[in-house]
Amino acid sequence: MDEIAVLVLNYTFEPLHFTNAKRAITLLLSGKAESVEASPRVIRSPSTAFPLPAVIRLAVYIRKPFLDRVAFNKKNILRRDGYACQYCNRRGDRLTVDHVLPRSRGGETTWTNVVAACLKCNLRKGNRLLEEAGMRLIREPVHPRFLFSVHLLRHPHAGSFLDSWRKYLVAVPSAT
């Protein structure tokens, strides 16, 4: 039971960390947390049975300094954009990055101005604005707020409750 991972959310539904099932049940029974998403597994005792939680929320807000910064690099841009071109939605391993507002026109190399693009779309857009190239973005680029998705991808039980966790995590690409 200890190897089963449970996602712990702050009172404000922000992801904090993972814990094991035993610790999650202890938090639930002591009233320090509430179950938000249940898993298909059931915990039984002689007098009761209840579903093992997949996601719990703490009953009080935990102040946590924002120490996790998402490194700005090509790998994380591709991860944020779900490994898909933000102009045509083409997926693949031959993706590059594109400045929405070209650098030659004052565009900066920031999270909100750089997107994943396939080679074809990147060449088509070139050094032009979206309107000039007759193109549009599928999704506006945003600065990832939280590095939790990286922890999720590294977690040994990441596949177990991924669907239950997905809506609480920022910048986790969909499985499609």
E strand or H helix at 124, and its extent? Answer: helix 119-125
**Tens-level pLDDT at each residue, the chain (176 residues):** 557 888 899 998 888 888 888 999 999 999 999 999 998 889 888 998 889 999 999 999 988 765 556 788 898 898 889 889 999 999 977 899 999 999 999 999 999 999 999 999 999 999 999 999 999 999 999 987 655 555 555 555 555 555 777 777 654 444 43
* pTM score of the predicted model: 0.51
The class of domain 74-133 in CATH terms is mainly alpha
With beta carbons less than 8 A apart as the criterion, state whether 146 and 152 touch.
no
Q: Where are the domains of the chain?
A: 5-66+146-166, 74-133
Strand partners, 171: none
3-state helix, strand, coil in the chain (%, to 5): 25, 25, 50
Amino acid 24: pLDDT: 94
Amino acid 155: pLDDT: 52
Amino acid 171: pLDDT: 46
Helices (H), 7-117: 21-29, 74-80
